Chain A
Amino acid sequence: MQPGRAMNNGIAVDLRNVVKRFADVCAVDHVSMQIRDGEFFSMLGPSGCGKTTTLRMIAGFEFPTSGEIFLHGKSVGNTPPFRRNVNTVFQSYALFPHMTVAENVAFGLRMKKAPPADIARRVTEALELVRLGDYAARRPRQLSGGQQQRVALARALVNHPEVLLLDEPLGSLDLKLRKEMQLELKSLQERVGITFIYVTHDQEEALTMSDRIAVMNAGRVLQIGTPTEIYERPICRFVADFIGETNFIEGKVESVEPGGIATITSDDGLTLRGQAIRPVTPGMNVTLSIRPEKAFLAVQAPPGTPNCYQVRVERIAYIGSDTRIDVRLGTRLFDLWEQNSRSTLDRDAYWQPGETGYLWWPAENAIILTE
């Protein structure tokens, strides 16, 4: 155990009220979060949301305007990057073009004046870890994008950092390679057991890999939680909208039952039921969020279902695994996805535009958002 690690209670990175201002722009606005040891933690948000600036402050490339950052209990607010045991994988990889793959990987150990025999052994290990053992003598430009990505990973991991920071590392790879690398990164993280902090604007990527996700917007952290919590129990409209797709219906709370099921009346007079995440009281203005895969379209009204509305099918889009159906509900188009579990050759099994059906959902499938 290293000195200064005693008091951290399994917290690798602790940000307390961190603010970063550039001239008159507030890039990071009172961000607080605790990232646990060995966790795959993602910061997710649209570009300009402050996620990269937060990452750069943890790396030491930027210093906070106010607030504190602790690495394993040690305050590092103004410590330069070369005195922090943290390594970064850059979006552009930033491999040194004038060095071979092995020299790139050895760079960090050389700077720390590790014994040459030690360096050679650890470099070989790191390259084996990312399955690039045969490429040690190549130059970065002789490698493909995915291989360069793995060199960047090896170059960081060889130093056994306390925390590994990844700044949209898969951003410049094509879709298929990106999917492969997502799984590879996740299994690599599980094997080495190092805390990963991963910055991305790709919600699917964050959901696939992360133990926990911090959703950010406009310099603030909106919600921190597991992928399931973020997707199933978003606490605000932005999170519900940014992660996955959803239908919003605005309305006013009429009554609340024990267990948080509330009845609301929409602006256009529909009576709807949903699950409140935060306490609501009658008269409150709220937004109902129903994900397209959590609502159903039936030929006949299911008996005894309160959330049931007669609707007209406006549009259908067949996308292979699913059919995306737009129905008219009140004044709005409501989007729902039906899994194509039956053969497409069975014409009767699928909705056609102009048909009438019954849209319904269980009350707990709809989330009531207060902000």
Chain B
Amino acid sequence: MVDIQMPQSVRIAGGERRRSAGSLALGAHAILTLVFLYAPIVVLVLFSFTRDSFGVRWTGFTFDWYTRLLADQRLLTAAMNTLVVALISTVVSTIIGTMTALAMERYRFRGRTGFDALLYLPIVIPEIVMALALLAFFAFSFGLIEALFGVRFQFGLATVTISHIAFTISFVVVVVRASLKGFDMRLEEAAQDLGANEWQTFRYITLPLIMPGVIGGALLAFTLSLDDFVITFFTTGSGVSLLPVEVYGQVKRTITPKINAISTLMLLVSITLVFLSQFVQRQREV
């Protein structure tokens, strides 16, 4: 059997070596797609190291723009604000989103289908609409509160944070629900059967098992908050600025490789988070 099959398989392998035109085109297509996707990013990163102060020509390697970045107080403050907003909104939206996902998977209640649709709406509606809606909402409620209680609220980090929580919850719900799909609810019964109360059941069984989903949702919320421009722009008010808006402001004045440098750093953070989430998911599967 083996003696007969061996030469056959060799012949087939030899035939495969001569690629058809179709498979060549397929390979070229894949490479072109990758170039199309990543060439701009490669250029961006490359020109954060150029000596040319307009960042359009390659005139030699330097870390200069990164050191100047660290001296730019406005940019650093904006970066710090962005991190604080992203952290707070991530924590809050992850908690609310996870609770919502659990409730949606576990209970059958009146208006569940409608509520389901409402939950996904923020993902599909145009961001500008969401931003304007939030702006109008804050303006209206601040006016109302001032008229009723005489207390004056202002736009600032708080309004941005609330807005970011509002639009990231939906994403957290989607990711956590996906991880709940494979969750065996009987494990919770088993835990209760063994003497765990509701909280212990959640703490020792449910949460550890849906953790990859929760972390995935949190990382998504964090990245979304980190680089959000439209909603941030509409809800910060004057005086405070976050990184994407600050970058935009600087680009309007002059384009320097400093912008490339800050973008490269943001890119680095995003990529790290993505790899981190992949790593966490991988760990669970082992």
A: residues with CB less than 8 A from B are 59-61, 80-82, 86-88, 90, 92, 94-98, 107-108, 111-112, 155-156, 159
B residues in contact with A60, CB < 8 Å: 192-193
Given A87-B194, A111-B195, A159-B194, CB of A94 within 8 Å of CB of B209: no
Given A98-B208, A111-B200, CB of A92 within 8 Å of CB of B193: no
A144 to B195, CA, bound (A): 26
A92 touches B184 (CB 8 A): yes
Given A82-B195, A111-B194, A111-B196, CB of A96 within 8 Å of CB of B187: yes
List 11 A–B pairs whose Cβ atoms lie within 8 Å, in order of A's numbering: A61-B189, A81-B193, A82-B194, A88-B193, A94-B184, A96-B205, A98-B208, A107-B191, A112-B195, A155-B194, A159-B194
A-B residue pairs, 6 tightest by C-beta = A108-B194, A94-B190, A111-B195, A81-B192, A94-B186, A88-B193
B residues in contact with A94, CB < 8 Å: 184, 186-187, 189-190
B113 to chain A, nearest CB (A): 19
A112 to B191, CA, bound (A): 12
Q: Residue of B at shortest CB range from A56?
A: B189
Given A92-B184, A94-B184, A97-B209, CB of A82 within 8 Å of CB of B196: yes
A residues in contact with B195, CB < 8 Å: 82, 108, 111-112, 159
A82 touches B192 (CB 8 A): yes
A87 to B204, CA, bound (A): 18
A107 touches B194 (CB 8 A): yes
| Residue interface mask B165-205, A partner, CB < 8 A = 1 | 00000000000000000001011011111111100100011
A192 to B184, CA, bound (A): 30
B194 to chain A, nearest CB (A): 4
From B184, B190, B205, contact of A88 by CB (8 A) = B190
Q: Residue of B at shortest CB range from A81?
A: B192
A59 touches B194 (CB 8 A): no
A82-B195, A112-B195 known; 8 new pairs, CB 8 Å cut-off, are A82-B197, A90-B186, A94-B184, A95-B190, A98-B209, A107-B194, A107-B204, A111-B194
B residues in contact with A87, CB < 8 Å: 193-194
A92 touches B196 (CB 8 A): no
A124 to B169, CA, bound (A): 45
B: residues with CB less than 8 A from A are 184, 186-187, 189-197, 200, 204-205, 208-209
A156 to B200, CA, bound (A): 18
B190 touches A90 (CB 8 A): yes
B200 to chain A, nearest CB (A): 6
Q: Residue of A at shortest CB range from B209?
A: A98
A88 to B196, CA, bound (A): 13
B residues in contact with A90, CB < 8 Å: 186, 189-190
B residues in contact with A98, CB < 8 Å: 208-209
A residues in contact with B209, CB < 8 Å: 97-98
A residues in contact with B191, CB < 8 Å: 96, 107, 111
B residues in contact with A81, CB < 8 Å: 189, 192-193
Q: Residue of B at shortest CB range from A85?
A: B195
Given A98-B208, A111-B200, CB of A92 within 8 Å of CB of B186: yes
B191 to chain A, nearest CB (A): 7
A94 to B185, CA, bound (A): 9
B residues in contact with A61, CB < 8 Å: 189, 192-193
B75 to chain A, nearest CB (A): 43
A80 touches B187 (CB 8 A): no
A95 to B189, CA, bound (A): 11
A159 to B191, CA, bound (A): 13
B197 touches A96 (CB 8 A): no
A residues in contact with B186, CB < 8 Å: 90, 92, 94
Q: Residue of A at shortest CB range from B188?
A: A94
B residues in contact with A96, CB < 8 Å: 187, 190-191, 205
A90 to B189, CA, bound (A): 10
A94 to chain B, nearest CB (A): 4
B253 to chain A, nearest CB (A): 53
A98 to B186, CA, bound (A): 15
A149 to chain B, nearest CB (A): 14
A81 to B189, CA, bound (A): 8
A98 to B183, CA, bound (A): 12
A131 to chain B, nearest CB (A): 22
Q: Residue of B at shortest CB range from A61?
A: B189
A249 to B208, CA, bound (A): 60
A159 to B195, CA, bound (A): 10
A107 to chain B, nearest CB (A): 5
B residues in contact with A86, CB < 8 Å: 193
A94 to B193, CA, bound (A): 11
A61 to B193, CA, bound (A): 8
A321 to B205, CA, bound (A): 50
B23 to chain A, nearest CB (A): 39
A347 to chain B, nearest CB (A): 44
